[in-house]
Structure 1
Amino acid sequence: MTSYPDRDAVEKRVHEREDERLRKIAILAEPFGLAKADDPGRVATRIDRLSRTRPDVRPVDPVAIAEGEEDALRDAGTVLERIIRTDDLLGVGYLEGGVRAAKAVGRISIRDDRGRLRGYGTGSLVSPELLLTNHHVLADAATAACSVVEFDYQDGADGLPLPVRLLALDPVRFFAADPGLDFALVAVRATAAELAPFGFNRLVEAEGKAIVGDFVTIVQHPNGERKQIALRENRIVDVLERFLHYETDTEPGSSGSPVFNDQWEIVALHHASVPAPEKGELGGVVNEGVRVSRLLAGLRARTFPPEQQALLAGVFGEPSPVVAAPVTEAIRIDPDYGNRAGYDPDFLAGHRVPLPELSPDLMPLAAVNRQATSEPKHVLPYHHFSAVLNKLRRLAFFTAVNIDGATSVRLRREKDKWSLDPRVPEEEQTGEPVYADNPLDRGHLVRRLDPAWGPSREAAKSANDDTFHFINCTPQHEDFNQNRTTWAGLEDYVLENADNRDLRVSVVTGPVFAADDDQYRGVQLPRQFFKVVAMVRQDGSLSATGYLLSQEQLLQGLEVAAAEFSYGAYRTFQVPVRRIAELTGLSFGPLGDADPLGQQESATTAKEVGGPADLVL
């Protein structure tokens, strides 16, 4: 569960306001109490704001209210009693507005840098791309980078759970927080178009959104449960300079929930519930939320870089300022290879997934890392991934990468600049001459964005650039490499939509070498490629699935002659991990036993994958 903010400060405010709070609650029970329980200026401002959408509402004189003039109190009280209904009868538009407002609210899973769940919070989209929650939910950018938000974690009208849309957060793009006002505003790792189906709840700077006696509604994920709504009798009972006090049912996990008035405007950001000293008032609990007008004033007072200011403009409903085109970040390979940790076999929580082992027949073909200081010396580590090179074929046996979806950074693809790896002889690598003046592409084995994650943009950029080593690519016909096959999205699907506990996967990718592969400029061109994807399910168990990109005829033994091979005929198949081991001569350790397809009766099962629904995970 999430920790509270400065609990002592909250309890002190609640205690100090006890007499004033009780006085206001008593006034609310009097005739025209709604007009008398709050500051006259605030009452007049509230009525003025209501008049903007209600032509039958007339402004009132705050001076007359302050002086207790009976006509003014009667007029103000009548308006407020009519709109801030006390009989719990509301127009159906209230429900329609609530559906729209609740759509933008999601559950935040707070995770540490190992992907372990540390608690839950609630957040709401408040612009096309920014999410608002509490500072004590996302205390810093590092925590935000490891955490995720889940939209539609709720039951539908038929009582069945809706499909959940899980998205990582992107504090590199935008993160702002204030411990005093207990808020955090962070970008979601998705485009505005991808987030559009959830809408957003605009924050309003203007005063007049709520007064003492107004009802509030809180949309929340209490204790990390499915989305719930705390409906009436929830009333504001005190208004402080920076906070509102109100009655409602909340639980841990509700931190960061939006507090709405009856017009579905956010009036506060819920952040704490503390016992009321009088032990009887409001069921013994007072809830506190940060006033939205004060939160926005805090953001107004800060300066942000131009690109972040453009995102923040969406919170205020302002047009985005013109931002200069970002400076091109050219591919740059760090010449110090001693700082690369490579693939981490302990990346998946609770499970060790070692690098594949070469069979005795393949070991003599492995290129040796001349800079290796430990065994095995045939492994070439990069940032967040490793490779093993076949010096005879001059291509990788395989690559293995760790992918952390919670801290990934979406970097622009700049002009490609491929490099040889100085740790192995140049003649053992396939370099630029193979790709010149022909339809062959340099096909990434480790996709450039897969290892692009970490605590900073710089760390992600270094890993992104490392993928532009020739060892990490194979010559692939342009019809294959540029074809939008299911293959290209396998990591994304398993990472973000499968039963993945910590948004982490480890992926092994490589070519399937065959003796009769086409020869071209001294390099044999692979005709099949494999991928093995490992993750941890929500129940803590390991899942590993294998895939081949191939022609259907090639699955049973590569018996099709090279002359008959069509580069445009690639399709994706899910196959048992053990089948990939047979084809490649690699041993995948515990992954064969973790393969749901491998547990089926037929050891040669091959299931064509046309979309996510075809996967067996």
Structure 2
Amino acid sequence: MFLVSPGEQIDQQVNAMDWDQLSGLQQKLLRAAILSSYVNQTSFSMFLTAELNKPPLANFTAGRSFEERIFSLIQVSQAEGWTGDLVDALQRDRPRNPLMRSLSDTIRLAEVRPAGGGDAGRGRSFGLERIVSGGGFADIRVWAEKLAQICEAVCRIESPAGNPCGTGILVDRDLVLTNFHVVEPQLIGNVAETDIVCRFDFARDAAGISDGTPIGLAGGSGWNVWSSPYDPQADIGGAGLANPQCLDAALLRLLHPVESSRKPIRLQPNATTPDDGQPVLVIQHPRGTPMALALGSSLGLNQNAVRLRYNADTLAGSSGSGVFNQSLELVALHHAGDPAAIIRARYNQGIPISAIAKAMPKSLQASSLR
């Protein structure tokens, strides 16, 4: 399989989209990506002038706030037919911003087709649409609500408080799942477990960054509910296939249950991994930054079916993130990248959730596997 560079991927995505016909939801997603990438009107105006030879934002858009003026800018760009150029320049200028990097895929997932599935209003009716990946379809509002609920169950793992070391997933009202290696110093007794903090809702929106809600772990021995180590030879050294008993997972008990409005993500022992080529989403705290979404495709299971591989981007701090399919079902626990990578990785990988769920003691399955 031949890989294209990020720049080539961006060009292909931009050319495939009709950026001047965005729906209201798609415009909102574009607006959110811009607001997450530029801290104020001045920095965005500098971008407009340098990259697009446009006047400062205030010169040709209405509105008082930064967000209102971005809204007006998108209306102007669509009317004048240069939204595609705008997006192309944005992705070149802010390639490391996770919302901007995944913008094309996010916009595509929010695409709304005319009723009846035809090409109404396009002046043609080729009828060439076909099922390609088999990922299926989803009602966008239901999908968006489910995504928001998942985000409330994701936390940043810190040790000590304020120092990010990974990501975790709430799987019961007082249980968080993460990687063994994220909390290995505590599990082997080198560092006190009281150092660990699970910070929920650490995320960015149009208003800025929320500090989130920190929750410590249960005292005594109650914090370490269950764990399974990683395979150092395969997962780190890249030698051979990982031992099926090495799942790089740890289940931690919180100091107290979360509020009833925060819904856990239940572990399903019959969760199936996406086929090769189907979409995957990784919700994570890359390098400890506010919660981010990375989109990619499944590369299938490895030879002994104990690791799922995919091409979604991750960074240090993403360990312990949930890997979801297109229907937002939890299918794997992200834990590592290609151990043979020197410059560019061939894949990232996670442990299938079905394997983790089945390995847990029966006493836990009454709660976290409901």
Relative to the length of structure 2, the TM-score reads: 0.54
**Structure 1 CA distance for aligned equivalents of residues 195 and 150 of structure 2:** 26
Q: Does 2:278 align with 1:214? A: yes
Which structure would you say has the larger Rg? 1
Q: Does 2:94 align with 1:94? A: no
Contact 1:216 1:259 in 2 (8 A): yes
- Helix, strand or coil for the counterpart of 1:272? strand
- Aligned residue in 2 for 1:242: 306
Q: Quickly say closer, same or farther: Cα 1:221–1:278, change in 2 above 3 A.
A: closer
Q: For residue 167 of structure 1, report the CA deviation from its aligned partner.
A: 0.5
- Helix, strand or coil for the counterpart of 1:235? strand
- Aligned residue in 1 for 2:269: 205
Within 5 Å, give how 1:139-150 maps onto structure 2: 139=184, 140-141=186-187, 142=189, 143-150=192-199
- Helix, strand or coil for the counterpart of 2:261? helix
Aligned partner of 1:178: which letter? S
Q: Does 2:125 align with 1:125? A: no
Q: Does 2:222 align with 1:173? A: yes
Q: Quickly say closer, same or farther: Cα 1:208–1:187, change in 2 above 3 A.
A: same
Q: For residue 90 of structure 1, report the CA deviation from its aligned partner.
A: 7.5
Q: Does 2:360 align with 1:315? A: no
Q: Quickly say closer, same or farther: Cα 1:82–1:93, change in 2 above 3 A.
A: farther
Q: For residue 137 of structure 1, report the CA deviation from its aligned partner.
A: 0.6
- The one-character-per-residue Cα deviations of 1:560-582 (angstroms, maximum 9, x if unpaired) are xxxxxxxxxxxxxxxxxxxxxxx
- The one-character-per-residue Cα deviations of 1:566-606 (angstroms, maximum 9, x if unpaired) are xxxxxxxxxxxxxxxxxxxxxxxxxxxxxxxxxxxxxxxxx
- The one-character-per-residue Cα deviations of 1:427-486 (angstroms, maximum 9, x if unpaired) are xxxxxxxxxxxxxxxxxxxxxxxxxxxxxxxxxxxxxxxxxxxxxxxxxxxxxxxxxxxx
Q: For residue 82 of structure 1, report the CA deviation from its aligned partner.
A: 5.3
Q: Does 2:323 align with 1:259? A: yes
Q: For residue 260 of structure 1, report the CA deviation from its aligned partner.
A: 0.6
Within 5 Å, give how 1:274-293 maps onto structure 2: 274=338, 284-293=345-354
Contact 1:121 1:221 in 2 (8 A): yes
- Helix, strand or coil for the counterpart of 1:315? coil
- The one-character-per-residue Cα deviations of 1:472-528 (angstroms, maximum 9, x if unpaired) are xxxxxxxxxxxxxxxxxxxxxxxxxxxxxxxxxxxxxxxxxxxxxxxxxxxxxxxxx
Q: Quickly say closer, same or farther: Cα 1:104–1:163, change in 2 above 3 A.
A: same
- Aligned residue in 2 for 1:155: 204
- Helix, strand or coil for the counterpart of 2:159? strand
**Structure 2 CA distance for aligned equivalents of residues 190 and 312 of structure 1:** 20
- Helix, strand or coil for the counterpart of 2:275? coil
**Structure 1 CA distance for aligned equivalents of residues 316 and 133 of structure 2:** 33
**Structure 2 CA distance for aligned equivalents of residues 284 and 134 of structure 1:** 20
Contact 1:244 1:290 in 2 (8 A): yes
**Structure 2 CA distance for aligned equivalents of residues 252 and 91 of structure 1:** 31
Contact 1:237 1:245 in 2 (8 A): yes
Q: Does 2:289 align with 1:225? A: yes
Aligned partner of 1:124: which letter? I
**Structure 2 CA distance for aligned equivalents of residues 208 and 98 of structure 1:** 19
**Structure 2 CA distance for aligned equivalents of residues 208 and 227 of structure 1:** 25
- Helix, strand or coil for the counterpart of 2:173? coil
- Aligned residue in 1 for 2:180: 135
Q: For residue 134 of structure 1, report the CA deviation from its aligned partner.
A: 0.3
Aligned partner of 2:368: which letter? V
- The one-character-per-residue Cα deviations of 1:326-348 (angstroms, maximum 9, x if unpaired) are xxxxxxxxxxxxxxxxxxxxxxx
- The one-character-per-residue Cα deviations of 1:295-315 (angstroms, maximum 9, x if unpaired) are 11211xx46xxxxx3x55211
**Structure 2 CA distance for aligned equivalents of residues 278 and 264 of structure 1:** 32
Q: For residue 316 of structure 1, report the CA deviation from its aligned partner.
A: 1.1
Q: Which has the higher contact order (CA 8 A, sep 6+)?
A: 2
Q: For residue 209 of structure 1, report the CA deviation from its aligned partner.
A: 4.3
- The one-character-per-residue Cα deviations of 1:87-112 (angstroms, maximum 9, x if unpaired) are xx97343322211111100111023x
**Structure 2 CA distance for aligned equivalents of residues 165 and 245 of structure 1:** 32
**Structure 2 CA distance for aligned equivalents of residues 252 and 81 of structure 1:** 30
Correspondent of 1:298 among 338, 359, 363: 359
- Helix, strand or coil for the counterpart of 1:290? strand
Aligned partner of 2:329: which letter? E
- Aligned residue in 2 for 1:110: 159
Count of aligned residue pairs for this structure pair: 221
Q: Quickly say closer, same or farther: Cα 1:96–1:207, change in 2 above 3 A.
A: closer
- Aligned residue in 1 for 2:62: none
Percent sequence identity over matched residues? 28
Contact 1:209 1:265 in 2 (8 A): no
Within 5 Å, give how 1:152-551 maps onto structure 2: 152-156=201-205, 158-170=206-218, 172-174=221-223, 175-179=225-229, 180-191=246-257, 194-231=258-295, 234-240=296-302, 241-274=305-338, 284-299=345-360, 302=361, 309=363, 312-317=365-370
Aligned partner of 1:261: which letter? N
Contact 2:151 2:201 in 1 (8 A): no
RMSD of Structure 2 on Structure 1 (CA) = 3.0
- The one-character-per-residue Cα deviations of 1:363-389 (angstroms, maximum 9, x if unpaired) are xxxxxxxxxxxxxxxxxxxxxxxxxxx
Relative to the length of structure 1, the TM-score reads: 0.33
Q: For residue 238 of structure 1, report the CA deviation from its aligned partner.
A: 2.4
- Aligned residue in 1 for 2:73: none
Q: For residue 121 of structure 1, report the CA deviation from its aligned partner.
A: 0.6
Q: Quickly say closer, same or farther: Cα 1:183–1:230, change in 2 above 3 A.
A: same
- Helix, strand or coil for the counterpart of 2:210? coil
Within 5 Å, give how 1:519-598 maps onto structure 2: none
Contact 1:131 1:187 in 2 (8 A): yes
Structure 1 unmatched runs, 5+? 1-21, 24-77, 304-308, 318-617
**Structure 1 CA distance for aligned equivalents of residues 365 and 193 of structure 2:** 17
- Helix, strand or coil for the counterpart of 2:259? helix
- Aligned residue in 2 for 1:560: none
- Helix, strand or coil for the counterpart of 1:131? strand
**Structure 2 CA distance for aligned equivalents of residues 252 and 195 of structure 1:** 29
Aligned partner of 1:182: which letter? D
**Structure 1 CA distance for aligned equivalents of residues 341 and 345 of structure 2:** 8
**Structure 1 CA distance for aligned equivalents of residues 329 and 210 of structure 2:** 25
Q: For residue 173 of structure 1, report the CA deviation from its aligned partner.
A: 2.7
